[in-house]
A and B are shown apart, each in its own frame.
Chain A
Amino acid sequence: DADVTQTPRNRITKTGKRIMLECSQTKGHDRMYWYRQDPGLGLRLIYYSFDVKDINKGEISDGYSVSRQAQAKFSLSLESAIPNQTALYFCATSVGLAGVAGELFFGEGSRLTVL
């Protein structure tokens, strides 16, 4: 089983719908991240969380929200999806080491298409 699991892996939805992408990890890491990947733009950080009570906005948080339900679970929500949110979404985890985050581990990705 994968250490970082994302669901769903693929989703097609319509403009205006609410979408939730879920991420769970068995690595025991305290830090979790959501990125999106677009052709030609690379990976960009949406939100990150250093523990259950710590949520931080990333580079492109507008239109997104997150919830850290437990140390192992971090979900990303699109309250009202729009076509330019069509992208490949990645969840990642890392362990914090005396204030310096260590190696990042990624899930397999969730491909979202908004029509």
Chain B
Amino acid sequence: KQEVTQIPAALSVPEGENLVLNCSFTDSAIYNLQWFRQDPGKGLTSLLLIQSSQREQTSGRLNASLDKSSGRSTLYIAASQPGDSATYLCAVRQGNSGYALNFGKGTSLLVTP
């Protein structure tokens, strides 16, 4: 069974810092990996989707990388802002489970002014 782990569970940084969130998965046979943002009590907002054939995706200040062979993905946030405070979730899609997503438990990020 695919296990998805996110480290750290919580992170607090001052505004302006660059930061990296980590996601690891145990089964490298994935179709894609998706990063989400979740604000308290809200739904999940898709940030980036990386297909298994891709190494990275970028959107604005966000950059996500994928190393399928080592079972790792990182989400890089440049020049963090207080508005980036949220929980960040990664999820991997397997082919042998009906293409369902397996989620990590998230990293709770607080960016202080």
Contacts and interface: CB of A to CB of B under 8 A. Distances in A.
Nearest to A44: B103
B99 A100 contact: yes
Given A33-B100, A40-B105, A45-B101, A100 B46 contact: no
A65 B29 CA distance: 30
Contacts of A88: 41
B43 A108 contact: yes
A90 interface: yes
Interface string A80-96: 00000000101010001
For chain B, the bracket of interface size reads 20 to 34
B28 to A, nearest CB: 16
A63 to B, nearest CB: 18
B96 to A, nearest CB: 13
Interface string B17-42: 00000000000000110101000011
B79 interface: no
A6 to B, nearest CB: 8
Contacts of B31: 100-101
Interface of A: 4, 31, 33, 40-45, 48, 50, 56, 58-59, 88, 90, 92, 96, 100-109, 111
26 contacts: A31-B99, A33-B100, A33-B101, A40-B105, A42-B89, A42-B103, A42-B104, A43-B91, A44-B103, A59-B100, A90-B44, A100-B95, A102-B49, A103-B34, A103-B46, A103-B49, A104-B91, A104-B101, A106-B36, A106-B43, A106-B44, A106-B45, A106-B46, A108-B42, A108-B43, A109-B43
